[in-house]
């Protein structure tokens, strides 16, 4: 995949992995297919009873053969432009993992836990995020969604 950051182009090897049920949302399949195909990213599907075990097994196949793994949830929508932006940010900021901001369906809250938020959660159960926090191109968080996440295989190797 060619990633352009300013006037620089970088060719990186990427594999996409996703855990899928036997039946699913066909609209989403076309969404990610249209985003991945022009970038030359091959999706690999895994199945099983436990999502985390499926991802661990499938990601393990690619740690030695690419620089990044893109995790996809079968029900998350994203575009080619979304992927290009995420990869540009991952390379620019040299992140171990990066994902976009997504809100929960039920109540619109962002799907993330700010750094330190797990260690010292607010007693009310509701955390406030100042508007300025969203103004930065990249923020470090404790947890985030996995639906369209770019993970550095070097980071996976470091954390074995």
Taking only the tens place, the pLDDT of each residue in 107-137 is 877 888 888 777 777 777 777 788 898 899 9
Distance CA 83, CA 159 (A): 25
Distance CA 17, CA 4 (A): 23
Across all residues in the chain, what is the average pLDDT? 86
Question: Left (φ > 0), alpha (ψ -120 to 50) or beta: where does 111 sit?
Answer: beta
- Check pLDDT > 90 for residue 94: yes
Pick from 29, 150, 52: which is nearest to 99 by CA? 150
- Check pLDDT > 90 for residue 20: no
């Amino acid at each position: 995949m060619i990633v352009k950051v300013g006037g620089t182009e970088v060719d990186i090897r990427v594999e996409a992995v996703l855990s899928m049920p036997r039946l699913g949302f066909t609209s989403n399949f076309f969404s990610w297919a249209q985003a991945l195909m022009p970038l030359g990213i091959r999706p690999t599907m895994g199945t099983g009873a436990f999502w985390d075990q499926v991802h661990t097994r499938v990601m393990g196949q690619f740690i030695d053969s690419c620089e990044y793994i893109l995790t996809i949830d079968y029900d998350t929508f994203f575009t080619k432009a979304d992927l290009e932006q995420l990869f540009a940010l991952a390379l620019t900021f040299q992140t171990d993992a990066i994902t976009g901001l997504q809100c929960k369906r039920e109540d619109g809250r962002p799907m993330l836990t700010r750094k330190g938020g797990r260690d010292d959660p607010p007693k009310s159960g509701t955390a406030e995020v100042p508007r300025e926090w969203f103004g930065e191109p990249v923020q470090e968080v404790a947890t985030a969604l996995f639906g369209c996440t770019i993970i550095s295989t070097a980071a996976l190797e470091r954390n074995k």
